[in-house]
Chain A
Amino acid sequence: MRRSTVILALLITITLLGIVAARENTRSQFIALQEAQTQHFALDNRWGQLQLEQATLASNARVGDIARQKLHLSAPKNDQIVMVKAQ
């Protein structure tokens, strides 16, 4: 066998191993990507729910009802307001 043939065979083996490694790498990266995307959707979803919850809890009608009925608050009448000068 000639030397060049041996070198070529070696190079081919190395390349094949490289391909296997690259494939393996792609696969694991892809799995990581999918996991990240799933997580992204889950977080997005949670964020959306929290925004909705916040908007519902802070709705004018609800806050007004709680202030009036539970906390017995009322808007100050004009003679109860004291104006102060800002320095």
Chain B
Amino acid sequence: MWTTVALGLVGMMVQSWRAQVEQGAFLRNQGAQRYLRHFPLPVQRGPILDRNGKALALSVPVKTLWVDPQLFKNQQDRWSVIAKDLGISLQELRSRVDNGGSHFAFIARQIDPKVAANITALHVSGLYSLNENRRYYPAGSITAPLLGFTNIDARGIEGVELAYNNWLSGKPGEETDLRDNHGHPFAVLGKSRLAEPGKALTLSIDRNIQYVAYTALASAVQRFQARSGAAVLMDVRTGEILAMVGYPTFNPNDRSDYQPGLTNNRAIADTFEPGSVMKPFAIAAALDDGSIRPNSTFDVNTNCFRVAQYCIQDDVRHGTLDLAQILKYSSNIGAAKISLRTPPADLYQMLHQAGFGQVSGLGLPGETSGTLPAWQGWDVARRAAMAYGYGLSVTPLQLAAAYGAIANNGVYVPPTLTRRDGHAVTGTRIMPSDTAQRLQKWLSGVTQRGGTGFLADVPGYTVAGKTGTSIIANGRGGFHKNLVNTTFVGFAPAHNPQLVMAVVVRGPTQGWRYGGVVAAPVFRVTMATALEKMNIRPDASSRNNLAIKPFSAVQEQHWAEGAGDAAH
């Protein structure tokens, strides 16, 4: 008998050795899992601010209500009160409870804390509340495609919210509690890890300029009944983007009418054949390799300049034009003649260095590179077409940055969305400074009397720029009959450029569909505000301003299509 007792004792000792020492950690852990609860502490997502510290995106605390259906279903007499407070029907509440798991179901997510407080005050067992944050965008659709949005779990899924998600997110904290069977905590165990709030993100955007750019663009798209529009305004010296807008767009604060196509940031995602706005780069490439001289002139006096099987035409027939006039009246024949004299590798090199055919390095999701085919594949027709902007596709941002290089005396500065705060800017020289200065002077002729861009003239400032009107390809090797892209890209003040802006309006269907008529006024309105807001000194007498003087409609149409003041 004693042997049996001794064996039993030994058995117990072995077993307790196993439980206490060998498996001790595991068993303690298993026990803890049954009575301890780890609760995440909500973390606030960092705000997104404009360059002056004004809020563009904020996180606001809200409440989420959830239930344990097994407990909550014993309280059906209270359901009608809860449904009424939530503003939903009893059936809706029932389906929300049934749609959850066996121990967890959301009955209201991210609601006003006051409403939630009324309901939790009822002390219904099985009903709990959680603190959460909800994202709110004060500027609404004005900044929507740029900022993107977050999903309901506060993770950025588009735009700046996605690109800077790690910076903005922060780290949620954690707390270990003992809770009773109703889920109410009665003790906190150990040290809770505090939540690290997300960091604030300061963008280079100026909220006021963004607002003016958006309203001007939206009214142009509506007035000319266009399909869409996009615009980018950039600081020439630093590459800081002051405004980036698209239209039509969506309301980021109410996503019930969510349509996927509207969330695209058109300024970086929409590509198009740029048309005449590429002419300055063809001229720069030809000047740089000595193919033409600054005082070269070109005979464009023909209705059809034949290149291979194609007929290159100008809207209006001119005689002999110099380089300034080719830009001012936007002569396709002149540009084609220049390009045919230039070795294609040199034109390609110029366009490539100016940023075409590659993403800008802005870091935003959804940015497209456009296309710039390698020069080895260019036939003679392609060589001519490249000069006036067909055969390649670009984004509005690329146009703004490339013109920024002309405005910055030949140095290309990569665009950025964050404030530089005086950090050194590393640019690349893409053309000699005297070529850039010549282009600045010639391009300022475009916005003067008789130029195609006279409607871009800003009162009190000199403006340089270029219009573009390109027929949209139909994707079957031909072109749409009546569908055009209208563009204006320019910078001001022309004598000492500070700001550059690109405006693209796609598919206008009303009125005269020229870049100088549709897109140039968007430039004028936005640039006028931006120059003032950035404290840039006026450099011209406002008396010379063309846009505010009444001209006959016939005269204006002549100018817009490139006829100038020439007698015909």
How far does the Cβ of B149 sit from chain A's closest Cβ, in whole Å? Answer: 17
A81 touches B538 (CB 8 A): yes
Is A44 on the interface with B (CB-CB < 8 A)? yes
- Specify which chain A residues have a CB less than 8 angstroms from the CB of B60 in the assembled complex: 45, 48-49, 51-52
- Specify which chain B residues have a CB less than 8 angstroms from the CB of A27 in the assembled complex: 187
Instruction: Scan residues 98-135 of chain B and give those whose CB is less than 8 A from a CB of chain A.
Output: 113, 131
Is B198 on the interface with A (CB-CB < 8 A)? no
Instruction: Scan residues 24-65 of chain A and give those whose CB is less than 8 A from a CB of chain B.
Output: 26-27, 30, 33-34, 41, 44-45, 48-49, 51-52, 54-56, 58-61
Q: How far is the CA of A45 from the CA of B61 in the complex (A)?
A: 5
Is A3 on the interface with B (CB-CB < 8 A)? no
B208 touches A77 (CB 8 A): no
- Specify which chain A residues have a CB less than 8 angstroms from the CB of B207 in the assembled complex: 60
Is B459 on the interface with A (CB-CB < 8 A)? yes
Is A1 on the interface with B (CB-CB < 8 A)? no
Is B200 on the interface with A (CB-CB < 8 A)? no
Is B310 on the interface with A (CB-CB < 8 A)? no
- Interface range on chain B: under 10, 10 to 19, 20 to 34, or 35 or more? 20 to 34
A52 touches B138 (CB 8 A): yes
A59 touches B187 (CB 8 A): no
- Specify which chain A residues have a CB less than 8 angstroms from the CB of B186 in the assembled complex: 30
- Specify which chain A residues have a CB less than 8 angstroms from the CB of B139 in the assembled complex: 59-60
Q: How far is the CA of A49 from the CA of B134 in the complex (A)?
A: 12
Given contacts A45-B61, A51-B60, A83-B538, contact A56 B138 (CB under 8 A): yes
From B537, which residue of chain A is reached at the shortest CB distance? A83
- Specify which chain B residues have a CB less than 8 angstroms from the CB of A49 in the assembled complex: 60
B542 touches A55 (CB 8 A): no
Q: How far is the CA of A51 from the CA of B136 in the complex (A)?
A: 10
- Specify which chain A residues have a CB less than 8 angstroms from the CB of B188 in the assembled complex: 30, 33
A55 touches B55 (CB 8 A): yes
Is B353 on the interface with A (CB-CB < 8 A)? no
A55 touches B460 (CB 8 A): no
A77 touches B59 (CB 8 A): no
Q: How far is the CA of A60 from the CA of B214 in the complex (A)?
A: 12
Q: How far is the CA of A54 from the CA of B136 in the complex (A)?
A: 13
How far does the Cβ of A35 sit from chain B's closest Cβ, in whole Å? Answer: 13
Is A78 on the interface with B (CB-CB < 8 A)? yes
- Specify which chain A residues have a CB less than 8 angstroms from the CB of B58 in the assembled complex: 48, 51-52, 55
Partner of A79, one of B55, B208, B542: B542
How far does the Cβ of B559 sit from chain A's closest Cβ, in whole Å? Answer: 22
Is B211 on the interface with A (CB-CB < 8 A)? yes
A52 touches B187 (CB 8 A): no
From B540, which residue of chain A is reached at the shortest CB distance? A78
* Per-residue A-contact encoding for B536-554, CB less than 8 Å = 1, 0 else: 0110001101000000000
A78 touches B538 (CB 8 A): yes
Given contacts A56-B138, A60-B208, contact A30 B538 (CB under 8 A): no
- Specify which chain A residues have a CB less than 8 angstroms from the CB of B113 in the assembled complex: 41, 45
Since A55-B138, A83-B538 are in contact, a sample of 10 more A-B pairs with Cβ atoms closer than 8 Å, ordered by chain A residue number, is A27-B187, A30-B188, A45-B60, A48-B58, A55-B55, A59-B138, A59-B139, A60-B208, A78-B459, A83-B537
A78 touches B187 (CB 8 A): no
B61 touches A48 (CB 8 A): yes
From A59, which residue of chain B is reached at the shortest CB distance? B138
- Specify which chain B residues have a CB less than 8 angstroms from the CB of A45 in the assembled complex: 60-61, 113
How far does the Cβ of A60 sit from chain B's closest Cβ, in whole Å? Answer: 4
Q: How far is the CA of A82 from the CA of B138 in the complex (A)?
A: 35
* Per-residue A-contact encoding for B156-193, CB less than 8 Å = 1, 0 else: 00000000000000000000000000000111100000
- Specify which chain B residues have a CB less than 8 angstroms from the CB of A54 in the assembled complex: 55
9 A-B pairs closest in CB distance: A55-B138, A78-B542, A48-B60, A78-B460, A60-B211, A78-B459, A45-B61, A44-B61, A45-B113
